[in-house]
Amino acid sequence: MFDNPKFAKLVAAGNASGEVIAVDRFIVTVRGLGDIAVGALVYFDNGHQGMVREVHLDTVMVLNMTAETIAIGTLVVLEAPELVTGVGEAVIGRVLSVTGQPLDGKGPVTFSRYDPVFKVAPGIIERQELKDPLSTGVAIADQLFPLVKGQRIAILGDNKVGKSAITMQLTLAQAGTGRLVIHVLISKRKADVDSLIAKLNKSGAMAYSVVIVASVFDSLTQSYLAPYVGVTVAEYLWNSGKDCVIIL
């Protein structure tokens, strides 16, 4: 019998299983798992999750989604045929990890459904012309580099030149517009995460924001997945009739 009830349930359901035979930091080599697809979600018997990155003839390379090391000999089972994340309006005003765990002490999050993280982007013909303006709240930026809804822009510069200040001003400028702002923090220090959350709470912007956190202490796999999770959350809200601004 297995000590982990969830693991035992997945095995009893007939899901493909295997065993960890090698570990290199967050890269785990598994023997078994049968006919599994790239991008599938797997579950280790110690309660951790992983994502299938490569499939070989006899082995599968899995990216460990936690910062803790997986021991050789750990059993693993297929949890879902593709990587999914929880979405829904309940995420508005919340701070979540890449795996969907609440980090703000406000209790559990009830997701409306689970959507695949990796989707095929719509073709060029399906897309609309970009024309609706998007105010950043920074007058000089709006005059020199006017943005429109649907546009992507990179804000580049050295440390301490005001990149975060501009994105915060962009967030504040969405107050009263009905737009939502999704902040995706990738490999950030805890001090930077706490600073952003404090500013959002103090300004009241948290009421229309979502924060997805992959800190510097989390697995590199979470940093890799964070943008995909943030976009999946935003796509659900957008399809529900809400415009979203995503800040990575």
Taken in order of first residue, the domains within the chain and their CATH numbers are: 5-80 (2.40.30.20), 84-247 (3.40.50.300)
Q: Is the dihedral of CA 66, 199, 148, 154 positive or negative?
A: negative
Question: In residues, how long is the chain?
Answer: 248
Provide the pLDDT for residue 149.
85
- Taking only the tens place, the pLDDT of each residue in 161-213 is 778 888 899 899 999 899 999 999 999 999 999 999 999 999 999 999 999 99
Residue 125 pLDDT: 86
Taking only the tens place, the pLDDT of each residue in 96-113 is 999 899 999 999 999 999
Predicted confidence at residue 1, as pLDDT, reads 54
Is the pTM higher than 0.85? The answer reads yes
Q: What is the pLDDT along the chain (248 residues), one digit of tens a residue?
A: 567 888 999 999 999 999 999 998 889 999 988 889 999 999 999 989 999 999 998 899 999 998 788 999 999 999 989 998 999 999 999 999 998 999 999 999 999 999 999 888 888 888 888 888 888 888 888 888 888 888 888 888 888 777 888 889 989 999 989 999 999 999 999 999 999 999 999 999 999 999 999 998 888 899 999 999 999 999 999 999 999 999 99
Pairing status of strand 133-134 against strand 95-97: unpaired
Radius of gyration of the chain (CA): 20
What is the C-alpha separation between 101 and 246, in angstroms, rounded? 20
Location of structure tokens 């570990």: 23
CB distance 176 to 207 below 8 Å: no
